[in-house]
Amino acid sequence: MHGEGFFFQAFVYLAAAVISVPIANRAGLGSVLGYLIAGIVIGPFGLEFIGEEGQDVMHFAEFGVVMMLFLIGLELKPSLLWRLRSPILGMGGLQVGITTAFLTLISMLLGLPWQTSLAIGMILSLSSTAIVLQTLQERKLIKTAAGQSSFSVLLFQDIAVIPMLSLMPLLAVKAAPAISAVNDGHAGTTWVEGLPAWGQAVAVIGVMSAIIVVGMFFIRPFFRAVAQTKLRELFTAAALLLVIGIALLMSRVGLSPALGAFVAGVVLANSEYRHELESDIEPFKGLLLGLFFIAVGASIDFGMIFARPTDIAMLVCGLVVIKFLILLILGKSFKMGTDQSLLFAFSLAEGGEFAFVLFSFAVQSHVLEQGLANIIIGSVALSMALTPLLLLINEKLIEPRIGTKQQEDKKADSIDDENPVIIAGFGNFGSIVGRLLRANGVGITVLEFDSDTVEVLRSLGLKVFYGNAARHDLLHAAGAEHAKVLILALSDPDQMLEIIHMTKKHFPHLKIFARAGGRSQTYDLLDAGVDHVYRETLETSLRAGSDALRELGFRSHYAHRVTRTFRFHDEESFNELHPLRHDRKIYISKARQGIEDLEQILLSELKDTEEHPDAGWDTTSMLDEFGGREKE
């Protein structure tokens, strides 16, 4: 890299990331858009801190995508991947096939040769694995139906890059010089170069089989030996060695290193070293992906965009709109809800990072002219930069208007029970409360909005009704008019507040008991008129502290007494702070004073116990001592 040296370039990239990402997160834009903006600002068309070397940095940073797919593979056990085979082959295959066909037809109608049109169609059918998965993970959407479908399609696209690379030389519009096979490191000689088609296929199958066999039988003993050294840095080096070695091996046979890393991750998903591998590789993956996003932003050729703004705008809008419509129809065809189909379509409507590789190879193969390729590459880079923004528009403007429809498609159960207690939500908290009430002969009516949870609970012999307790008609059918208590055991604070407001309006006689995750949510629930609020971590935390005191040699009676004292004064402080919660300065000051006062009270009790040992007497210690003497 030129400029003022490697350290200057490293400083520029790191400073851009550290400054831009917190600002972007604070503005609700997400880290990916922050990285892209940083790249634009420091790039050749911004502050010019980096120049042509940005392309070299991108090639290096693409290794972050390899690491990301390795980590994703670690989260996917082979059994789960097998269950995803239908969306990977079905949805992924249809998306690539339909999008390629549609974009090829449009390119031909614009007067391009069919070979060039097909190349453009194939390349633009791909989406950005790095940007989409990173953005979905940040927004905690990767486990949704849209997130899983997006992942399946992206995995198929990564696999599809291999035949696309093989097909490019066959699409040459004019005679092309001999070109070596291309890998993710872009051009280079491979082991399978010059082999017949069947020989290449055998080599590919052999390498993939070798990765699976080595992963199943040899990697665990290898990591066991490394772990026995008890050197954390050596384990980190071994983890990086594994991923880099797989990337090199896959490149040598002309395959995608990202695909090989993913397969290796899946093989090691059941390994006892999975968590160590994740924690060691995660920081490198995050830094390299951030570097990749900055390089994408810096690579956008604004000079060309400003020279041909109409053409670029039409290409970007056309690409996003066409892919969005195809994906939306595909999502609905696979029975996804409206909100999930929209999220799926917005996620994958952009171009992908493999376009930089494939367009470069297409130019070398004389399938595309350099000028046309530059225009399309600029459009792809812009579409990638728009992806986080499109997802933000969907989240802030579209989803609030259409609501979450994914589970509404299932009709709520008809309820034939009428009991004194209604429980909304039957997870860990609700199920314990419900079992205690049932064990004492109290009838309960359980409402649960997660259909999967309903099926599991019914298989355990529990009577649970599917439905959203925020619906007035459903709560009425559950016997709210004659019930005495409504217990809210949900994890969604907004949904709980919605149920509380509806209950206070239509069933004001019901006493509401609600769980809360912390002080802030507890205050919100009290303000909404809840009769009894329970901070679910308070009792467990106090019990753990009490047990720790006993383990450290404190008397059981003393541990029990100070725990009870702590609870009393904490609740007293909680009630005093409630009216002050909106004045942050006074609230923090009072809270700090309350913490200091409570510590002084407990230290005073400890001093009294030390001065009067009889105050620490308790039956548990006596029984332990007596039992010990009997054994002697």
pLDDT digits (tens, 9 = 90+) for 586-615: 777 777 777 777 777 777 766 666 555 554
Q: What would the mean pLDDT of 452-473 be, rounded to a whole number?
A: 71
Calpha distance 454→183 (Å, rounded): 48
* 115 and 252 housed in the same domain: yes
pLDDT of residue 192: 64
pLDDT of residue 12: 82
**Residue from 445, 519, 438, 524 nearest 485 by CA:** 445
Is the pLDDT score of 176 beyond 50? no
Is the pLDDT score of 323 beyond 90? yes
pLDDT of residue 489: 85
Is the pLDDT score of 9 beyond 80? no
* 281 and 222 housed in the same domain: yes
pLDDT of residue 54: 53
pLDDT of residue 319: 92
pLDDT of residue 329: 93
Residue 529's SS3 state is coil
Range with lowest mean pLDDT among 362-376, 449-463, 542-556, 559-573: 449-463
Is the pLDDT score of 518 beyond 60? yes
* 338 and 417 housed in the same domain: no
Residue 330: give the domain boundaries. Answer: 6-402
Calpha distance 399→560 (Å, rounded): 49
Is the pLDDT score of 177 beyond 50? no
Calpha distance 496→486 (Å, rounded): 11
Range with lowest mean pLDDT among 303-312, 377-386, 535-544: 535-544
Task: Write down which residue in 353, 370, 402 finishes a domain.
Answer: 402
Is the pLDDT score of 433 beyond 70? yes
In a domain? residue 278:
yes
Better pLDDT: 146 or 77 = 146
At 412, the pLDDT band (50, 70, 90 cuts) reads very low
Q: What would the mean pLDDT of 611-622 be, rounded to a whole number?
A: 50
* 326 and 444 housed in the same domain: no
pLDDT of residue 162: 66
Q: CA–CA distance from 39 to each of 43, 357, 382, 385, 573 (Å)? A: 6, 19, 12, 10, 49
Calpha distance 258→281 (Å, rounded): 15
Is the pLDDT score of 178 beyond 60? no
At 99, the pLDDT band (50, 70, 90 cuts) reads very high
pLDDT of residue 417: 59
At 81, the pLDDT band (50, 70, 90 cuts) reads low
Task: Write down which residue in 376, 402, 428 finishes a domain.
Answer: 402
Residues 6+ apart with CB under 8 A from 557: 616, 617, 618, 620, 621
* 479 and 500 housed in the same domain: yes
In a domain? residue 209:
yes
Whether residue 58 contacts residue 299, with contact meaning beta carbons closer than 8 Å, is answered with yes
Task: Write down which residue in 369, 402, 435 finishes a domain.
Answer: 402
Is the pLDDT score of 274 beyond 90? no
Percent of the chain scoring above 90 in pLDDT: 7
Q: What is the mean pLDDT of the chain?
A: 76
Is the pLDDT score of 41 beyond 80? yes
* 256 and 109 housed in the same domain: yes
In a domain? residue 534:
no
At 197, the pLDDT band (50, 70, 90 cuts) reads low
CATH code where residue 520 lies: 3.40.50.720
In a domain? residue 540:
no
* 382 and 419 housed in the same domain: no
Percent of the chain scoring above 70 in pLDDT: 80
* 47 and 91 housed in the same domain: yes
Is the pLDDT score of 49 beyond 60? yes
Q: What would the mean pLDDT of 315-330 be, rounded to a whole number?
A: 92
pTM: 0.54
* 247 and 332 housed in the same domain: yes
H helix or E strand, kind and range, residue 222:
helix 219-227
At 183, the pLDDT band (50, 70, 90 cuts) reads very low
CATH code where residue 95 lies: 1.20.1530.20
At 461, the pLDDT band (50, 70, 90 cuts) reads low
Dihedral-angle region of residue 2 (phi above 0 means left; psi in -120 to 50 means alpha; beta otherwise): beta
* 244 and 103 housed in the same domain: yes
In a domain? residue 407:
no
Is the pLDDT score of 341 beyond 80? yes
Phi, psi torsion values for 187, nearest 5 degrees? -115, 150
Calpha distance 297→299 (Å, rounded): 5
In a domain? residue 1:
no
133 exposed, middle or buried (CB, 10 Å; 0-12, 13-18, 19+)? buried
Is the pLDDT score of 408 beyond 50? no
Q: What would the mean pLDDT of 352-360 be, rounded to a whole number?
A: 76
pLDDT of residue 166: 67
H helix or E strand, kind and range, residue 533:
strand 532-535
pLDDT of residue 631: 43
Calpha distance 516→536 (Å, rounded): 6
Is the pLDDT score of 55 beyond 60? no
Calpha distance 36→208 (Å, rounded): 34
Q: What is the β-pairing status of strands 182-183 and 532-535? A: unpaired
Calpha distance 347→361 (Å, rounded): 26
* 395 and 418 housed in the same domain: no
In a domain? residue 546:
no
The structure tokens listed for 574 are: 């909680």
At 103, the pLDDT band (50, 70, 90 cuts) reads very high
Residue 555's SS3 state is coil
* 337 and 384 housed in the same domain: yes
pLDDT of residue 101: 94
In a domain? residue 79:
yes
The domain tally of the chain equals: 3
Q: What would the mean pLDDT of 90-107 be, rounded to a whole number?
A: 92
Q: What would the mean pLDDT of 493-518 be, rounded to a whole number?
A: 85
Residue 268's SS3 state is coil
